[in-house]
């Protein structure tokens, strides 16, 4: 599927059917840190991922809407090196 808006919107992650890295998604909890979204995937897909930074740490946010209900989950928080690697794996369909 391609919405044709690749230039304007986020990236389309590859199919994760063969993913080898399983991300431990946890329900997002409100935090005091200001979160900046550094990258994101296209919202034409049912699940949107955001690469987030808060303070000196990064994490990936997963946003889905099962049955119209907004569900926001987060990966673990870690250093930019660790999370940027995970983000790349997610986009290549190697993690989910
Ligand atoms: Zn799209």
Q: What's the pLDDT tens digit per position in 50-90?
A: 999 998 999 999 999 999 999 999 999 999 999 999 999 99
Whether residue 5 has pLDDT greater than 60: no
**Mean pLDDT of all residues belonging to the chain:** 91
Centre of ligand 1 from the C-alpha of residue 1, in Å: 8
Residue 13: per-residue pLDDT: 93
Does position 6 have pLDDT exceeding 70, yes or no?
no
Q: How far, in Å, from the CA of 72 to the mean position of ligand 1?
A: 19
Write the Ramachandran bin of 4: left for phi over 0, alpha for psi from -120 to 50, otherwise beta: left
Domain that holds residue 65: 1-96
Angstrom distance (rounded) from CA 38 to CA 19: 23
14 Cα–ligand 1 center, Å: 12
Tokens representing 40 are 């994101």
Cα of 46 from ligand 1 centre, angstroms = 10
Distance 9 CA to ligand 1 centre (A): 7
Report the pLDDT averaged over residues 17-37.
Answer: 90
Task: Determine the Cα–Cα distance for residues 25 and 41; give it in Å rounded to an integer.
Answer: 17
Band of pLDDT at residue 31, cut at 50, 70 and 90: confident
Strands 57-64 and 26-27, bridge-based pairing? unpaired
């Amino acid at each position: 599927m391609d919405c044709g808006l690749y230039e304007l919107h986020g990236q389309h992650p590859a199919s994760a059917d063969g993913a080898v890295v399983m991300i431990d998604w946890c329900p997002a909890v409100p935090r005091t840190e200001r979160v900046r979204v550094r990258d994101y995937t296209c919202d034409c897909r049912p699940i949107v991922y955001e690469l987030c930074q808060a303070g000196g740490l990064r994490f990936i946010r997963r946003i889905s809407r099962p049955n119209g209900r907004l569900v926001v989950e987060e990966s673990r928080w870690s250093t930019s090196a660790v999370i940027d690697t995970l983000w790349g794996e997610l986009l290549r369909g190697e993690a989910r």
